Amino acid sequence: MYTFIGGLLVLLAGYVFFSRYVEKQLDVDENSKTPAYKSGDGVDFIPMPTWKVYLIQFLNIAGLGPIFGALMGALYGPIAFLWVVVGCVLGGAVHDYVSGMISLRHNGASLSEIYGMYLGKKVQNIMRVITVFFCVIVGVVFVAGPAGLLNSLIPTKFGINLWIAIIFIYYFLATILPVDVIIGKIYPIFGMCLAFMAVGVGVSLILNGYHIPEIQFANLHPKNASMWPMMFVTIACGAISGFHATQSPMMARCLKNEKDGRKVFYGAMITEGVVAMVWVAAGLAFYKGTPGLAEIVLGKAGSAGAVFEISNTLLGKAGGMLAIMGVIVCPITTGDTAFRSARLALTDILNYSQEKVSNRLVVAVPMFVVGVFLTFVKFPILWRYMGWLTQAFAMVTLWASSVYFYQKGKNHWLTSISALFMTCVSVSYIMQAPEGFKLPATISNITGICVALVFLIMFFVKMKNTTTLVENTVNN
């Protein structure tokens, strides 16, 4: 219990105190004109109330990630609390805030364009392809699951294909219509529901006297799964996730003031950290430890079954409704913004105005044709790489953020330490994972450390060369 409460207080303190230090490093200027006003087009660049932008950002980056990922991560035991707190305050929230503000400073630029500015054209060209593909795949993956659940709740003579078609139609509309028409109206509502469900579960655990275990510096996974680096990929949303940086440019285009960036980007990530803490606690407390939790989340019921059971028991009928909403709506809200982010990335690459509906259709229609085709392709192996790819995105984004800070003469260690860590995680994981090279853990982990150190050396060499070039230019 003390670990859980203490962790929540640290998350709060991170927002109240540490985020202000990050804000100072960013030289936030409340008098600077934001992209929403500089490039207002009534489609993607629209000034919106800060509370709405915050809730949209929260739902964009959260979805089911801090619930399902937290429940799976809880299998490692209470040590998961530590990763959520430290990862969120020092890693994920900084990652989201800095990348969001860099996008804001560059007129709402998409993630791949930011990579080009700070990591070079070669990285940019590679990441352009990967970013668009990643967003489309995320959108496609979150079609079949919700469609299947809807079909089981409301069966039709057309079966699951009707629900797939309906979800795709919704995705298409959410992708091409102005951001304040659908996303701006329904996202804040669902964002509040997701937060309310977490608060309700957390309070109910405490009031009903459930035993929330204290932190143990041990791996309690019932299947003896390796904690390093597996836990750090399993709990991405809630700690640090590179997917967030693909979503932040969408809201960077809607902020009214630079000063609001801390509330929206850092604040939304802290909120997600709270949700993850609650579901780690719920998984361990409700099922009385990792063996009981493993029976359901690794069994036929899966994480969705755990969410239904916990919510129904702790929150009654209201909890059951929220659970159904969460398991169906949250994946859909992740999918639609993934497709919208893909459109924004493509239009940035093509430098193609989106003010006219016809221009949006030119980009969106081929993208959705590909998306619909992919729903009929079985790619379970491909999806197994998505967890790793998410953390690889975080690694690259953090290195780009470090270059940004270094060039501005600011404390680059704010992001370069996290970049080092995520490089170790990403490389070690892919070297030993079943979908990776399947090498022994010792070799994989040593490789991860070595690659991280090489990246650090490359970073300093690049920065030194850049500084020398600037000095020579000034002197000449």
Note the pLDDT tens digit of each residue in 369-400: 999 988 877 655 556 678 898 999 999 999 99
Tokens for 191?
């964002």
Q: Is residue 62 scored above 50 in pLDDT?
A: yes
pLDDT in tens, 316-369: 988 888 888 788 888 899 999 999 999 999 999 999 999 999 999 999 999 999
SS3 per residue for 397-415:
HHHHHHHHHHHCCCCCHHH
Q: Is residue 471 scored above 70 in pLDDT?
A: no
The pLDDT score that the predictor gives to residue 475 is 46
Residue 272's identity, in one-letter code, is: E
Q: CA triplet 59, 63, 68: central angle to 5 degrees?
A: 150
Altogether, the residues listed in the chain come to a count of: 476
Whether the upstream peptide bond of residue 229 has omega within 30° of 0, thus cis, is yes
Rounded to an integer, the average pLDDT of 249-254 is 97
For residue 436, give the DSSP letter.
T
Q: pLDDT over 70 for what percent of the chain?
A: 96
Rounded to an integer, the average pLDDT of 210-225 is 95
The pLDDT score that the predictor gives to residue 317 is 84
Of 126-130, 357-361, 371-375, 418-422, the range with the lowest mean pLDDT is 371-375
- Rounded Cα distance, 46 and 37, in Å: 7
73 in Cβ contact with 65 (< 8 Å): no
Task: Match 């969001």 to its residue by tokens.
Answer: 100
Rounded to an integer, the average pLDDT of 141-158 is 85
Residue 356's identity, in one-letter code, is: K
**Chain mean position to CA 412:** 22
Rounded to an integer, the average pLDDT of 217-246 is 94
Q: CA triplet 197, 201, 205: central angle to 5 degrees?
A: 170
Tokens for 219?
């791996």
In sequence order, the 6+-apart residues with CB closer than 8 A to the CB of 330 are 59, 62, 63, 64, 67, 190, 194
The pLDDT score that the predictor gives to residue 383 is 62
- Rounded Cα distance, 423 and 392, in Å: 7
Task: List the helix and strand counts (H, then E) for the chain.
Answer: 22, 0
Rounded to an integer, the average pLDDT of 135-148 is 87
Exposure b/e, 173-184, CB count within 10 A at least 16 = b:
ebbbbbbbebbb
Closest CA to 279 of 199, 218, 357: 199
The pLDDT score that the predictor gives to residue 381 is 58
Residue 196's identity, in one-letter code, is: F
Q: Is residue 476 scored above 50 in pLDDT?
A: no
The values of phi and psi at residue 256, to 5°, are -85, -30
pLDDT in tens, 68-77: 999 999 999 9
Q: Is pLDDT larger for residue 159 or for residue 95?
A: 95
Mean pLDDT (the chain, rounded): 93
The pLDDT score that the predictor gives to residue 57 is 96
Please give the domain boundaries of the chain with CATH numbers for all domains.
Answer: 2-379 (1.20.1740.10)
- Rounded Cα distance, 267 and 237, in Å: 14
Q: Is residue 32 scored above 70 in pLDDT?
A: yes
Q: Is pLDDT larger for residue 215 or for residue 155?
A: 215
Tokens for 415?
């992001």
Exposure b/e, 422-445, CB count within 10 A at least 16 = b:
bbbbbbbbbbbbebbeeeeeeebb
Q: Is residue 469 scored above 50 in pLDDT?
A: no
The pLDDT score that the predictor gives to residue 320 is 81
Q: What is the DSSP string of 326-377?
A: HHHHHHHHHHHHHHHHHHHHHHHHHT---SSHHHHHHHHHHHHHHHHHHHTS
- Rounded Cα distance, 6 and 89, in Å: 14
